[in-house]
Amino acid sequence: MIEKTREALEKLTRGRKKRTAEQIGEVVGQALAKWKVGKFFAWRVCGGKLEWSLEESRVQQEESLDGRYVARTDASREVLDKTQAVGAYRQLALVDRAFRQLKTVALEIRPVYHHLDERIEAHVFLCMLAYYVQWHMQQKLAPLFASDGTGKDRRWTWAGILERLKGVRRQTVSMKGASVTLTSRPDDEQQELLKLLDVPA
């Protein structure tokens, strides 16, 4: 990208077409915007001609950090050492995943049809509580996911597990003053899931 920008600036410098300073600046701006490496170039228009240079020191600094990222924190080393700081940064991905779960995937915190503040707060609390339960379930089911296949050979997904567990039901039927509680019998696959979740079958 730097080389492409250099070629565009050299072409502009060699050109014999007369341009005003504003026109030259517009063409330079287009070239820098196209290749997005303007921070490495210093330029000015002097006497109707373009003068530019490549700032090698900035290029070398960028190359030294290429393929890396810098995590900066205002926490002291007594609170977080460098390994802990990087670990905390990487946990942001888990936070992003949690918000996606809350908003779109299974829990769907929105839309909210409540109008009273306490009902809105209760709705959000229940969604957070549901995510808390979901997180713990996924932790307990980690061995199942780890031993599962990949791609098309993969057997288990979170949605698939919920669908299988929906078949485990307990219902109370009342009729003419008499009531009876019916509990479905989990099959082998459901029993395996309940065992991992520490739920008595």
The tens digit of pLDDT for each residue in 116-153 reads 999 889 888 988 888 898 889 999 999 998 888 777 78
Q: Can you say whether the dihedral through the CA atoms of 77, 82, 83, 86 is positive or negative?
A: positive
**112-121 CB contacts, 8 Å cutoff, 24+ apart:** none
Question: What integer is the mean pLDDT of 166-177?
Answer: 89
Please report, for the chain, the start and end positions of each structural domain, with discontinuous segments joined by +.
Answer: 2-65, 82-140, 151-196
Residue 71: the pLDDT is 80
The secondary structure of residue 106, as a DSSP letter, is S
Residue 201: the pLDDT is 67
Residue 136: the pLDDT is 92
Largest CA distance in the chain: 102
Residue 105's pLDDT band (boundaries 50, 70, 90)? low
Q: Who's near 63: CB < 8 A, 6+ residues apart? A: none
**Looking at the whole model, is its pTM more than 0.95?**
no
The tens digit of pLDDT for each residue in 65-95 reads 787 777 888 988 889 888 898 888 888 888 8
Angstrom CA distances, 77 to 69, 83, 84, stand at 19, 10, 10
